[in-house]
Amino acid sequence: MSIDEPQRDDLRPYGRRTFLAIVAGGLTSLWWGKPLWDRLSPALRTAADVLPAQVRNLVPSGWRIYTVAATMPVFNRRRWRLKIDGLVEQPLTLSYDQLLALPRSEQVSDFHCVTGWSVKDVHWAGVRFADLLRAARPLAGAKALTFVSAERPYVDSLTLEEAYLRDAMLAYEMDGKPLSRPHGAPTRVVIPEMYGYKNVKWVERIVVTDRPVDGYWELRGYDRDAWLGHSNGYGA
């Protein structure tokens, strides 16, 4: 790849120098045949999260950042809202501060993408779905949640039963820091029992429905059954 290509919007927070350092580091480490990853400082590891695909693929382990649109949504703390509507008695619109004021839960869990990579022991903080939905009061016919991402057209859904698993949550922190932009700032779904594609990033709306709907990847052939060990990622 050319390092003269225009700087992408999503690289800006880390600065062009860091970016170039990582590109150079990534390429030389390949040349040496030794993993660069172990020698990176935590700051550079974070920066590695936002690398373009060609470079990211050189990173031997850890997170891959997945997107379906050309740019990642930008989080504006003052303007951001989470909408909860559909089959509820009381539709809600929460600000970021109102979201943070809800009961906070934490957990350490592994994360698995159906394509084969995993990240162990991720520390999440966020809100359990039961706590999130309490004030909206789901109606008797409510059976599922559809998560709409600010990154159009990414969407996916969970049954209420799945969403109410004891370690599923709408997460706003990862490893002790507010969720970074590449990982879905300010909030994403976390459901460790299911493959990554159910873990919708940049959630801005939750629609309570009478049944689960097919998500972005399910419409493109991934299994509806996203439980770990079940989905093969290529459709039933």
Q: Is the dihedral of CA 216, 152, 118, 128 positive or negative?
A: negative
Site string for ligand MTE, 61-100 (x = CB under 6 A): --xxxxxx--------------------------------
Question: Phi and psi dihedrals of 176, rounded to 5?
Answer: 80, 5
Listed ranges 19-27, 32-40, 96-104, 146-154: which one lies at the site for ligand MTE (CB under 6 A): 146-154
> In the complex with Mo ion, which residue's Cβ is closer, 68 or 139?
68
Tokens standing for 120?
A: 């162990």
Residue 200: contacted member of ligand MTE, Mo ion, none (CB under 5 to 8 Å, by partner type): ligand MTE
- Residue from the set 23, 27, 113, 213 that interacts with ligand MTE by CB under 6 A: 113
Task: Give the CA distances from residue 32 to residues 26, 121, 122, in Å, rounded to whole numbers and listed in that order.
Answer: 10, 29, 30
Q: Per CB under 5 A, does 196 bind Mo ion?
A: yes
CA pair distance 174, 9, nearest whole angstrom: 22
Is the Cβ–Cβ distance between 100 and 83 less than 8 Å? no
For ligand MTE, the binding residues (CB under 6 A) are 63-68, 113, 149, 151, 154, 183, 196-197, 199-202
